Structure 1
Amino acid sequence: MKQGIGRMRFADEKVEMPKVTKKMLARILRYFTPYWIQMLLVIGSIIATSVLGLVPPILIKTIIDRALPQKDLKILTFYIVISIVITILLGLLQVAQSYLSIWISKHIVLNMKNQMYSHLQHMSLNFYSAAKPGEIITRITNDVDGIQDIFNSTVVNALSSLFVLFSTAVVLIMMNWKLAIVGMIILPTFIIPTRKVGKVKWKIATKSQEKISELNQIIQETLSISGTILTKVFTKEKDEYEKFEKTNEEVISLQIRESVVGRWFRMTITTFISIGPMLIYFYGGYLYIKGEITIGSIIAFVALLGRLYLPVSQLSNIHIDVTRSLALFQRIFEYFDQKQEIENRLGSTSLELIKGKVDFEKVYFSYNRQIRVLEDISFSVNPGTMVALVGSSGAGKTTITNLIPRLYEVEKGSIKIDGQDIRDVTLESLRKQIGTVMQEPYLFNDTIEENLKYGKKDASEEEIIKACQAAHIHDFIMTLPDNYKTLVGNRGIKLSGGEKQRVSIARVILKNPRIIILDEATSSLDSVSEMYIQKAMVPLLKDRTSFVIAHRLSTILAADQILVIENGTVAECGKHVELIKKDGLYRMIYETQFKVQIKSN
C-alpha cells in the first residue's frame, strides 16, 4: 500500500467544522416532524426501559440481604421470577424501540432520496455539464444512507443515555449518597478529550466522502459500456486499474483511520470504568465494616454503576457522532441549495395543441454568464416547415435547439411558440410538444418495447407496430428471437448505430409532437442504415415544424429555410439557391463539405 495507514494529514486542507446554527437544526428537524407520533412512542419506550432497568439490581439487593440470610425459598423464587419477567419485558421493549427507530430513520432516508432525485431531475444542463456523475451518485446514496444513524443511533442513544443517567443517579443517591459521590467522581474524565476527537473525526469523514466520490467516478466512467470499449481499444486497463487501486487504498486508509481515531480516548474511559467498581468495593467495604451499609447494597451499587458509566461514555461520543452527521447533512444541503435555474414561472399556463410557429427574438445566451455562445439570434419558422442549421462545430447549432425545450434558459431576448413566450408556459406542457432525436441515441437497458413506450406510456401494440413500421425498424425487430421483448443491453449496445437511431425515431413518432429537433448524424453509418434512416425521417418530419442540424446535402436541399450559424450568430439565412448566389459563408461550406458528398455519391 503506497499510502501508509494513518499517515494522511489535513494540514493542507482548509476544512472547517460545520457550524451548528438554529437555521440548520430547524432544517434537519423538518425531516423528523412528520413522524412525531412514532418518536413519542420511542421516547416512551426509552423512559420505560430506563426505569425498568433499575429493578433487577434493586431485586439483587433484596435477594442478598433478605432471601438468602432468611433461607426463604418462596421469597427467593418470587424475586427471581420477577427479575426474569422484567428482563423479558425489557427485551421486548428494546425490540419495539429498535423497530420504531429504524422505521423512522429509513423513512427519513426514503423521503430525502426522493427529494434529492426530484431536485436533480429539475437541474439544468449547466449543472450536469459541470458535475461529476460519481459525485452525484455518492450524494444520493452514501451521504443520504449515512444520515439514517442520526436518529437510529445518535438521537436514540442520547435520549436513552440521558434518561438512564438521570434515573440511575437518583437511585444511587437515595441508596447511599456517600457511595454515589465516590462513583460519580471520575465522570468528568469521560468528557475532556471529546472536542478534539470530534474535530479530527469530522475532517477524516469529510475527506473519506470525497475519496468515495472519486472512486464512484472511476467506476462510473471506466465500467460503463463506452468507457469499457475506450479502455480496451487504447489498452489502458493497467493504467485505470492503478488509478482505481490508488484511490481505493486511500478510501480504506481513511476509513481505517476514522474507525481507530479516539481509541486512546476510549481506552482511558474503559480504564476508569474498571476503577470505579474497585473504589465502590473499597469504600463500600469500609462503610459495611462500620455498619452503615449491607453487602446487598454494595453489590447492587456496583451493578447500577455500570448503568451510570455506560450512558456517560455514550454521551461523550455524541459530539463525535453529531459532527459526522452534520458533515453529511452539510454535503446534502449543498446540493439542495443549488438553484434550479429553469422553473415554472408563477402563473404559468399550459401550452395546448399548437400549430408550431417558432420565433427567436434577439436571443443571447452564455454558459454560467461567462462564455458567450449566442448573440442577437433572431429568426422565424412557420408551422410545418423545416429549418436546417448549418455551420462549423462549436458554432452554436446544438445550443439553439437546446433552448427551444428550455434545457437552458435564454439570457436576453425571447423564444415564442405560436406567439407565447416559452417561459410563460409550464415546462411539462412545452416539452410534450417537442420531440428530440439525439445524435447519439440513448436506450435504456430494457426491452425494445419499454424503450419505445418512453414516448407514450400507454401505447397499444398496434400503435407501437405502426410507429416502428414508419421508422422502418419493425421488420428487423421481428427477426429477433424475442421480437419487441428483446433486451437491448446497456445504452442499446446489442443494436447497431442505425438500428438504435431508428428505434429512437419510432419513439418520437409515438410521442407525436408538433416540433421536432433532429441532430441528423448519418455520416458515420453504412449506406443501408443511412437509407433506412432517411426513409424513417419522412414520416417523422411530415407536417411538423422541424429543426435539423444538417450533415447531409439532401436534408439541406429539402429544407424550407437554412440558417448558417457562425460564432454564435446567424451569419446567413435563406434557401439553398439564394445562399449559393450570395457567394458567402454558406457557399464556402457547400464547396468544402457538401460538394464532396455529391462526388462520393
Structure 2
Amino acid sequence: MSKFGTPSMGRMKFDENTEKPDLSSAMLRRIAAYFYPYRKRTLIVFAVLTITSLLGLLPPLLIQQIVDRALPDRDLRLLAFLVSASLATTILSGVLGVLQSYLNTYISQHIVYDMKNRMYRHLQSLPLSFFSNVKQGEVITRMTSDITGIQGVFSGTIVNFASNLLILLTTSFTLFIMNWKLAILSLCVLPLFAAPTRRMGRVRWKFAKQTQEKLGEQNRIIEETLGLSGYLLMKLFARESREYEAFREANAETTRLQIRESTAGRWFMMMVGTFGTIGPMLIYLYGGYLFIQGEISVGAIIAFVALLGRLYGPVGQLTNLYVDIKRSVALFQRIFDYFDIVPEIANLPDSSPKFPQGGIQFRDVGFAYRPDKLALRGISFTAEPGTMTALVGPSGAGKTTITQLIPRLYEVSEGQVLIGETDVRALTLESLRSNIGLVTQDTYLFNGTIRENLLYADERADEDRMIAACRAAYIHDFIASLPDGYDTLVGNRGIKLSGGEKQRIAIARVLLKNPPIVILDEATSALDTRSEHYVQQAMKALLVGKTGIVIAHRLSTVRSADQILVVENGVIAERGRHEELLALGGLYKELHDKQFAVQNPD
C-alpha cells in the first residue's frame, strides 16, 4: 500500500436524526470557544448585570423607608430624597440596560459572523462526494437559519440565565436579611415552578428539531424547483401544481410545528402564574400576623411583596430558559454535525506547493464510491506532456471518474496518480488544482458578464490575453457582435447563450488559465461540426508542451489522439491509436461502426 494510505469510506457519514443533544462539559467547552474572543466584552456584560441586579433591590427598600419613616414622620425632605433616589436608580438601570443591549448585540452578531465564515471555509474543504449526497437545501438551512438562530443564544439564553440567577441570589439574600421567617415561606412556593420543567424541555426540543428539518425540506424544494435547471424541468413537464402542493404541505407542517413549539408550555405557564399569586397572599397573611405581634413593619411587608416579584419572575424565566438552552444546544449540535465531518481530501503536513514537471501517470489505480464495490480497477497508463490521451467507452464506464482523480476531487482507494514522479497527494491542493484546467459537459457560468466569467480563471489577465483566449476558442467574433461585447450579461447559468456558445466560453476560460494539464470532459459535445473542427485545431496548437486528457463519445473528436484508452466496466479494455484500435476489431471498432452507421446510413 502507498505511504499515503487509503481513505476511510465511512468518515463522511453523519446522522441526520440525532438524538436529544447532550449538554455535556465537552459541548459547553466547544460552545464557549466561540465566546472566548469576546471575553472582555462578556465580562463587562456580567459586571453590568451584577450592578443592575443590585440596583433593582433599591426601589422596594426605598418604598419601605417611605412607608415606615417619611410618611409617619411627615418628613417632606426625606420623602423627596427617597423618591429622587428611587427615580435616579431607575434611570441609571435604564442607561446600563442600553449599554448591555449594545454589547449583547455586538457579541452575538460577531459570533454569527465568525461561525458563518468558518462554516463556509469548512464546506469548501469537503470533497465532491459530500455535495453529491447531501440533500439540496440542507446546506443552506445550516448556513442560514441554524447559524442565525445562534444569535439569540447569547442575548436570549446566556445573558438571561446570568441575569435571572443574579437577581434570584441577591433577592433571596436580601429577603433573609429582612425577615428569615417570611423568606423561608416565600421559598416554599419555588418547587411548584420547577417541577414540570424537564417534561416541557423534552417536548419543545422535539418540536424545535422537527421544525428545523422541515425548514430544510422547504429550502430543498425552493432550490430544486426555482433553480434554473429545475425550473425548466418543472415547466416542461407541467409539474407546477405538484411542486406547489409539495411546498404547501412542507410549509403547513413547518407552521404547525412552530405553533406547537410556541404554545407547548402555555398551560404550564398559566400554572406558574397561578403559583405566583400564592406567595404574596401568604406574605400578607403571615406578615400581617407578624405585624400584629410587633415583629415587622407595614413598610417591610410592602417591600417584601415587591421583592417577591424579583424572586418568582426569575424562577419562571429560568424554567423557560431550560427549554431555550435545549433548543440552543440542538442548533449547536446541527452545526457541529457539519463541523465534525472530517475532510477526506486535505493537504498533508509535508505537502509541496511546487508543481512538478512531467506528464500524468496512473499506477494500478482503484477507486470505490462504496466500500463494497470498486468503480475502477487496475487503471494504469501514462499521458506524456505535449500529447492528447482520449478516454472513450460506454456511459457509466468510469471515464469521468478517472479524470476527477487527477485534481483530487475524489481520492484513490488504491494505487497512485502521479504528476511526473510526484504523487498528487504530495502536492498542496491549491498547487495541484491551479495547474489543471477542466472543462465539463455541464458548463457552468455565473450570473454576470462574459468578462467576469472569463476573468474567473485569472483576475490579472489583460484585455489582449482575454481576447487571444477567446479567439483560440473561436468565440471572440460572436462576443464582439453583441451590443455590450464582453460586458454582456449571460443570465443564470448562462441561459442567454446557446449550448455551443457557453461551451466555447468555458474553453476560453481554461485557455486563459493556461495550465500545463488540460482535461476536456465531453467539452465539444455542444459544438456544431464547424466549431468542433476549429476548437480541435486550436487545442492542437495550445497542447504543445501540455498534457491533454479528452473524454468524448463522438469518436471523430479523438481520431488524432496520441493514445486512446477504451474504458469498460471500470477497467481499460483496449488502448492504442485510432487505426490500431480499428484493426483490433474490439469494443472501439464496435462503437466506431455503430456511431458512423448512424451518421452515414448509406
Counterpart CA distance in 2 for 1:456 and 1:288 is 86
Counterpart CA distance in 2 for 1:184 and 1:266 is 19
Kindly state the Cα deviation for residue 180 of structure 1 after the two structures are TM-superposed.
1.7
Note the 1:300-311 alignment, pairs <5 A: 300-311=303-314
Letter aligned with residue 455 of structure 2: K
Asked if residue 164 in structure 1 is aligned to residue 187 in structure 2, the reply is: no
Asked if residue 564 in structure 1 is aligned to residue 566 in structure 2, the reply is: yes
Note the 1:99-114 alignment, pairs <5 A: 99-114=102-117
Residue equivalent to 1:581: 583
Note the 1:83-162 alignment, pairs <5 A: 83-162=86-165
Letter aligned with residue 369 of structure 1: P
Asked if residue 220 in structure 1 is aligned to residue 191 in structure 2, the reply is: no
Counterpart CA distance in 2 for 1:535 and 1:284 is 101
Contact 1:553 1:597 in 2 (8 A): no
Counterpart CA distance in 2 for 1:150 and 1:364 is 47
Residue equivalent to 1:4: none
Asked if residue 317 in structure 1 is aligned to residue 324 in structure 2, the reply is: no
Asked if residue 246 in structure 1 is aligned to residue 254 in structure 2, the reply is: no
Counterpart CA distance in 1 for 2:600 and 2:517 is 30
Asked if residue 339 in structure 1 is aligned to residue 349 in structure 2, the reply is: no
Kindly state the Cα deviation for residue 406 of structure 1 after the two structures are TM-superposed.
0.4
Contact 2:360 2:384 in 1 (8 A): yes
Contact 2:503 2:526 in 1 (8 A): no
Counterpart CA distance in 1 for 2:137 and 2:338 is 14
Kindly state the Cα deviation for residue 100 of structure 1 after the two structures are TM-superposed.
1.4
Contact 2:444 2:493 in 1 (8 A): yes
Counterpart CA distance in 2 for 1:153 and 1:535 is 65
Contact 2:435 2:515 in 1 (8 A): yes
Asked if residue 486 in structure 1 is aligned to residue 465 in structure 2, the reply is: no
Letter aligned with residue 423 of structure 1: R
Q: Taking every aligned residue pair, what percent have the same amino acid on both sides?
A: 56
Counterpart CA distance in 1 for 2:260 and 2:79 is 51
Kindly state the Cα deviation for residue 473 of structure 1 after the two structures are TM-superposed.
2.2
Counterpart CA distance in 1 for 2:308 and 2:534 is 83
1:309-355, CA deviations, whole angstroms, 9 ceiling, x for partnerless residues? 11111111222112112212221121111121111112111233x44
Q: How many residues align?
A: 587
Note the 1:354-373 alignment, pairs <5 A: 354-373=356-375
1:263-314, CA deviations, whole angstroms, 9 ceiling, x for partnerless residues? 1111111111122222222222333333332222222212111111111111
Structure 1-normalised TM-score? 0.94
Kindly state the Cα deviation for residue 79 of structure 1 after the two structures are TM-superposed.
2.0
Residue equivalent to 1:3: none
Residue equivalent to 1:507: 509
Counterpart CA distance in 2 for 1:307 and 1:557 is 86
Residue equivalent to 1:422: 424
Residue equivalent to 2:376: 374
Kindly state the Cα deviation for residue 521 of structure 1 after the two structures are TM-superposed.
4.4
Letter aligned with residue 162 of structure 2: L
1:189-248, CA deviations, whole angstroms, 9 ceiling, x for partnerless residues? 111011111111111111111111111111110010111110011000001111111111
The more displaced of 30-39 and 16-25 is 16-25
Q: Structure 1's 20 and 359: CA in aligned 2 closer, same or farther, altered over 3 A? A: same
Contact 1:520 1:551 in 2 (8 A): yes
Letter aligned with residue 157 of structure 1: N
Letter aligned with residue 341 of structure 1: E
Counterpart CA distance in 1 for 2:211 and 2:267 is 21
Kindly state the Cα deviation for residue 71 of structure 1 after the two structures are TM-superposed.
2.9
Kindly state the Cα deviation for residue 183 of structure 1 after the two structures are TM-superposed.
2.0
Contact 2:560 2:578 in 1 (8 A): no
1:122-149, CA deviations, whole angstroms, 9 ceiling, x for partnerless residues? 1111111111121111112111122222
Q: Structure 1's 299 and 533: CA in aligned 2 closer, same or farther, altered over 3 A? A: farther
Counterpart CA distance in 2 for 1:521 and 1:15 is 43
Q: Structure 1's 15 and 203: CA in aligned 2 closer, same or farther, altered over 3 A? A: farther
Note the 1:584-595 alignment, pairs <5 A: 584-594=586-596
Counterpart CA distance in 1 for 2:462 and 2:79 is 77
Counterpart CA distance in 1 for 2:469 and 2:419 is 26
Asked if residue 69 in structure 1 is aligned to residue 64 in structure 2, the reply is: no
Counterpart CA distance in 1 for 2:325 and 2:249 is 30
The more displaced of 404-413 and 92-101 is 92-101
Kindly state the Cα deviation for residue 462 of structure 1 after the two structures are TM-superposed.
3.0
Asked if residue 229 in structure 1 is aligned to residue 232 in structure 2, the reply is: yes
Counterpart CA distance in 2 for 1:381 and 1:529 is 26
Residue equivalent to 1:53: 56
1:429-454, CA deviations, whole angstroms, 9 ceiling, x for partnerless residues? 01111001110110111222221121
Contact 1:383 1:544 in 2 (8 A): yes
1:40 equivalent among 43, 65, 88: 43
Counterpart CA distance in 2 for 1:57 and 1:516 is 80
Kindly state the Cα deviation for residue 593 of structure 1 after the two structures are TM-superposed.
1.4
Structure 2-normalised TM-score? 0.93
Secondary structure at the aligned position of 1:548 is classed as strand
Kindly state the Cα deviation for residue 523 of structure 1 after the two structures are TM-superposed.
4.2
Letter aligned with residue 146 of structure 2: D
Counterpart CA distance in 2 for 1:77 and 1:455 is 76
2:277 equivalent among 274, 277, 298: 274
Note the 1:375-454 alignment, pairs <5 A: 375-454=377-456
Letter aligned with residue 520 of structure 2: L
Secondary structure at the aligned position of 1:69 is classed as coil
Counterpart CA distance in 2 for 1:474 and 1:299 is 87
Kindly state the Cα deviation for residue 369 of structure 1 after the two structures are TM-superposed.
2.1
Contact 2:361 2:418 in 1 (8 A): yes
CA RMSD of aligned residues (A): 2.0
Letter aligned with residue 451 of structure 1: N
Letter aligned with residue 185 of structure 1: C
2:519 equivalent among 517, 520, 529: 517
Secondary structure at the aligned position of 1:70 is classed as coil
1:560-582, CA deviations, whole angstroms, 9 ceiling, x for partnerless residues? 11000000011111100111111
Unaligned runs of 5+ in 1: 1-12
Secondary structure at the aligned position of 1:476 is classed as helix
Counterpart CA distance in 2 for 1:162 and 1:476 is 71
1:411-434, CA deviations, whole angstroms, 9 ceiling, x for partnerless residues? 111011111111111111011110
Contact 1:356 1:514 in 2 (8 A): no
Counterpart CA distance in 2 for 1:243 and 1:590 is 46
The more displaced of 522-531 and 505-514 is 522-531
Secondary structure at the aligned position of 2:400 is classed as helix
Kindly state the Cα deviation for residue 599 of structure 1 after the two structures are TM-superposed.
6.3
Contact 1:552 1:594 in 2 (8 A): no
Counterpart CA distance in 1 for 2:329 and 2:145 is 14
Kindly state the Cα deviation for residue 249 of structure 1 after the two structures are TM-superposed.
0.7
Counterpart CA distance in 1 for 2:389 and 2:599 is 20
Counterpart CA distance in 2 for 1:498 and 1:134 is 30
The more displaced of 590-599 and 205-214 is 590-599
Secondary structure at the aligned position of 2:72 is classed as helix
Counterpart CA distance in 1 for 2:245 and 2:155 is 38
Letter aligned with residue 280 of structure 2: P
Counterpart CA distance in 1 for 2:410 and 2:261 is 42
